[in-house]
Amino acid sequence: MKEKKTDFKKVSIEFDERHLNTLVTALDIYSRLRSGQIATALGNAFVDRDCLTYEDLQVIESIVRTLTFRKDKDNIIKSPNSYYGIGCEELKDGTIAWEIKKAIEQYRHYESNDGYREIMNTGADGAMQYSEVPVPRIIENGGYWKPQKSFIVPQKYQKQIEECIASRQVEGIWAIINKAFKKIPLPKGKTSRIEKHDGSFYVVVEEPLRDRSS
C-alpha cells in the first residue's frame, strides 16, 4: 500500500527586525553544537563575556564530544578537527537550523546594503536545501521577498519601451535600456528583466552587485 503523503501547512510569524540578530545567533550555535563544533558554538554564545580561554573551550569541546558522539559509527572523536557537515544524517535538525539561518542572513545582507550584494560576503548567498523541509522564505509587503532591486527607466524613454514591447522588439528594448542608463550604468547581477508598476517601466536586477570601482 502506498504511503500517504503528509501535507504540512505554512506558518507565518511576525518578527521585529531587531529579533533577527538573535535568531541568527541562536540558529548558528545550535547547528554548530549538532555538528560537533562545541568550542566555536560556546565562543559565539558567550562572546560578550570574555570568560573562556582557547584552552577552556578545547577542554569543554573534548569532554562534550567524547560523551555525545562516542556511539556514532563514524566517531568524529578520533579526529579532533573533524565535524559533521550540513546535510549529514547525524546533524538531524541542525541542518534545518542552518537553512533558516542562511535565509535570514541573506535578507539582512541586502537590507543593510541598500538592496545590493557585497560580492565577497557569503551572507548574501542564501540557503541551499539539504533537508527535506522547504527552505523558509521572508514575507514582505504581502509577497515573498527576493534579493533584487528595481531601477525606474527615465521618463523620456518610457514611451519608447512601451512601443518596443507592443511590437515585440526584444533587442530594441535592451538597446533603449542601455541608452537610458549610459551615464549611470545598471549594476551587474544574476538576471535582469523589465517590469511595469503603477504605469512606469522598471529594470529589475536580481542579486545586484555593488560597484566599488568608483
Collapsing DSSP to helix, strand or coil, 152 comes out as strand
Cell of 95: 541542518
Instruction: For residue 197, report the phi and psi dihedrals to the nearest 5 degrees.
Output: -135, 130
Q: Is 209 exposed, middle or buried (0-12, 13-18, 19+ CB in 10 A)?
A: middle
In order along its 214 residues, the chain shows pLDDT tens digits of: 566 778 899 999 999 999 999 999 999 999 999 999 999 999 999 999 988 999 999 999 999 999 998 888 777 777 878 899 999 998 999 999 999 999 999 999 999 999 999 988 889 999 999 999 999 999 998 899 999 999 999 999 999 999 999 988 888 999 999 999 999 999 999 999 999 999 999 999 999 998 876 5
- Going by C-alpha positions, the residue among 137, 113, 136, 202 that lies closest to residue 165 is 202
pTM attached to this predicted model? 0.88
